Structure 1
């Protein structure tokens, strides 16, 4: 292609319309993927969160079970102390020593009651956590299966379209390099401000493509002469004549047909 500085207005119009056709094709490829990449990302985050939660719950469970073991050991120690103090009561010399040992026995019995109460509470906590873990595992399994399905769907689309998109991105960059900065900036601005991303459109039945506003015959003649860049006064889009558009569409179809 000719150097940017040597481009005539017609060449500029052809280049920018070609760029529009390439970018529209890229848009179509991305629309096929739609929200899938975001869905996959969200599901990955959710699965990671549920996995962490399940691991934390399992860790909590292990900790509680260790605490129960510790309490049972403490109960055994308290029982051993009771046995020891009871034996000592048989050999006391006076009531004061007997009463002192009785108080020790009572204290150990209270400690046993407290430990048994704590064990009951911890067992109830274990039952609750087991229910939560079971629910979390079911949810994690469902989300993991959903993620697997969505990833498979995305991978299938990516394998079909990735090479084409990379090729088209290169072509888009090539055509952008042909277009002067001011015109390219206008193209980008219009493209991002319109819903369908069409910044350059052809004349169809006396109106710009996709519009119901008729373009005056004089303006249509100026567009067909390809002597200056003309924009639609209603939408701001850059306009090209239908003959030029058909020629460039045919050329671009040959480019796209490689995939």
Structure 2
């Protein structure tokens, strides 16, 4: 009989628990319970894409009042392409979004980004609202677990990196407040659908997620949720 080492044992144990809807440490439930910051939805005040080219026009693109829904519709299950690997107390997680059918209650089945936008060029500004749905994405997380016993586990996030694959279906809906005419809704929608645009938005979101304040707050939030969940799991 093959001997299973400690890292493999705990990797499988946590991956199974985080993939089981009946488990206290079910990953979508953990993410749904976050409050500071909330990941259902995750919000940002502003996201400045700087100068871009729409058609042939150089233009500054600013998104404000950003909300990202659907984050808890995520899985680390190997059958969904996810993974959960312990190496000592270091944890590497690959989570796949938009894979759960059905998703958790009151959670979008796919990712949806909504925002206000401002397009500024040559003394002019156009404003409006934007909704973008994305049907495939992933999150790679590096975390350190510590604590003197399982029920006092401390979660420290080292890095979070979201990504959107080339095969993702990106569907934008653009509404201009006024002045968009016939050209701008089509041109701005095409700009938003470009993979380079989505990658630029995701890079800005990653920068925010990995800022010291956000990482520290999220680490504390996940620590509290994990500790409560593990206590309930061990003492139902």
Q: Answer whether TM exceeds 0.5 for this pair.
A: no
TM-score under structure 2 length normalisation: 0.22
Greater percentage in helix: 1
Greater percentage in strand: 2
**Which structure: larger Rg?**
1
TM-score under structure 1 length normalisation: 0.20
Return the structure number with greater relative CO, CA threshold 8 A, min gap 6: 1
